[in-house]
Amino acid sequence: MKKIALCLVILLLASPVTYADPLEYLGFDPVGSYDLGGNTVTIISWTGARMQQYFDSFIPVMDRIEEAERYFNCKIEFMQTSNVPRLNMIRVMAGDSTYDLWHVQNKIGYFELVSEGAALPMSDILPVEYYENLPPTLRMTEEALQFGGKYYGIGTMDHNPTYGFQNDLIFVAYNKSLLDREGIEDIYELYLYDEWTWDKVTEIGRKVTRDIDGDGEIDQYGIADVRPWDLAIANDASLTKIGADGRVVYAGDEPAYIEAIDQYLAWWHDDQIAFPTRNNQDSYSKFVNGEAGFFFYVPVFRLPDLMADMTDEWGIVPFPMGPGATDYRYPSQALSTTLIPVNASQPEALAALRAFLWREEDISTNTVLASVVSNRESAQVFVEAHEYWNGSASRLYEIPTWDATSVINYEILEGEIGPTAGMAKVRPIIQAKLDELLSQ
């Protein structure tokens, strides 16, 4: 019922709420109350140049930097670097970070900076209503990124007009023209009635995968670019979890995660309905060219590419439910936020500045939908995903886990080791790296 009801209110969500004062509803003092003493605020990000371009080109915010400099009595500079978090740490040690805002991700600097004590726990400083009134997906991001039971992040700093949405949320795209041609039921209807499951993908994939031109080679596949760590999220499983003692512990060898790997292998080897390549661009081309029914790796930032490249009719749905799940899940491939350095001179004022620069009211839902989806059904899925996403990230602790898991997943795929033995094999390696990164 929530899906059907949501379809009726999409237009009501299309216009963002406008607040009389963009700071007070977040628990800050009113605009004009903070004085940064004429100092230069340095916004550091691997995408700093595109952030500056956003303020130079997106009409609702084209005067925002000048307004902020006037109201907060400061100068604002963007610094682009690929050297996060090392540069951030150097600035702290040199005393250069007292007026910094740091753009980070779970896999670009966040955990290193937080665990080393280089960033402030902002839930100790900001009022409760700050986090309560963040856009839902930003609030869930900070929930997922908690460290030691505290919030360190204060919301992201975007370089696209998508503030309040998740650029890295992953959907499954389906080629409606191909599936209609093959006599397959409506995927959107399966989603609506909670019948979009792993078993249904298997059933459809077997029907769709075939030799089209009679040369003895399969050239149309059910699936392109499915990844076991994302599939695990759809089974309510994750590579890590919080243990009874509060530590982050490895969970990749637990039954629900192994079940996802087994399904991944079945689609590759037993059913042979997955396009046999691990190359994302080849998989993307296979789907865009109308030769795959489903594309299992479509982050929000890739949806405009599908809008531009697809000629067939297509749509998006969540990941199909695994047998261990009770609802649809939307894995994210990255979680972005902003940190304030531990030696910040005026942390609340810096947090207020970020909130003044990036506002939910700047972004119309209709504007976002027009750039990412091509039909009403996909718009509904997109809006619902951002309403109900639970903060799940398939590679939350990517830095300490990726090397070991990427190698073992390849060995499992090639049949060199079984899923249960393979995921148990890397447990001590990954747990040691987690303990080191998180100082636990």
178, 74: one domain: no
110 and 188 assigned to the same domain: no
293 belongs to a structural domain: yes
Closest CA to 344 of 158, 104, 53, 125: 125
Same domain, 70 and 139: yes
Q: Do 147 and 285 share a structural domain? A: no
**CA-CA distances (angstroms) from residue 219 to 37, 70, 210, 273, 306?**
65, 61, 7, 11, 21
Are 117 and 219 contained in the same domain? no
Residue 123 falls inside a structural domain: yes
pLDDT at 339: 98
Q: What is the DSSP letter of 210?
A: B
Identify whether the C-beta of residue 334 lies closer than 8 Å to the C-beta of residue 246.
no
Mark whether 258 and 294 lie in a shared domain.
Answer: yes
Do 220 and 205 share a domain, yes or no? yes
| Predicted pLDDT of residue 161 | 84
- Would you state the pLDDT for residue 24? 96
204 lies in a domain?
A: yes
Q: Count the domains in the chain.
A: 2
Q: Which DSSP string corresponds to 223-262? A: EE---HHHHHHTTT--SEEE-TTS-EEE-TTSHHHHHHHH
For residues 395 and 239, the answer to whether their CB atoms sit within 8 Å is yes
369 inside domain: no
| 375 is a domain residue | no
Domain-located, residue 276: yes
116 is a domain residue: yes
- The tokens of 422 are what? 């393979």
Pairing relationship of beta strands 314-317 and 170-175 according to DSSP bridges: antiparallel
Asked if residue 161 and residue 219 are part of one domain, the reply reads no
Q: Which residues of the chain have pLDDT under 50?
A: 1-2, 4-15
Asked if 215 and 315 sit in the same domain, the reply is yes
Which among 321, 346, 363 is the end of a domain? Answer: 363
**Same-domain status, 137 and 74:** yes
Examine the domain organization and report whether 320 and 239 are in the same domain: yes
Which pLDDT does position 246 carry in this prediction?
Answer: 87
- In-domain check, residue 5: no
Range of the domain at 135: 17-166+335-363
Angle made by CA atoms 401, 405, 409, in degrees to the nearest 5: 165
| Percent above pLDDT 70 for the chain | 96
pTM over 0.75: yes
- CA–CA separation, 38 and 72 (whole Å): 8
Task: State whether 297 and 180 are in the same domain.
Answer: yes
Give the pLDDT of residue 1.
39
Q: What is the CATH number of the domain that holds 57?
A: 3.40.190.10
Last residue of a domain, one of 311, 343, 363: 363
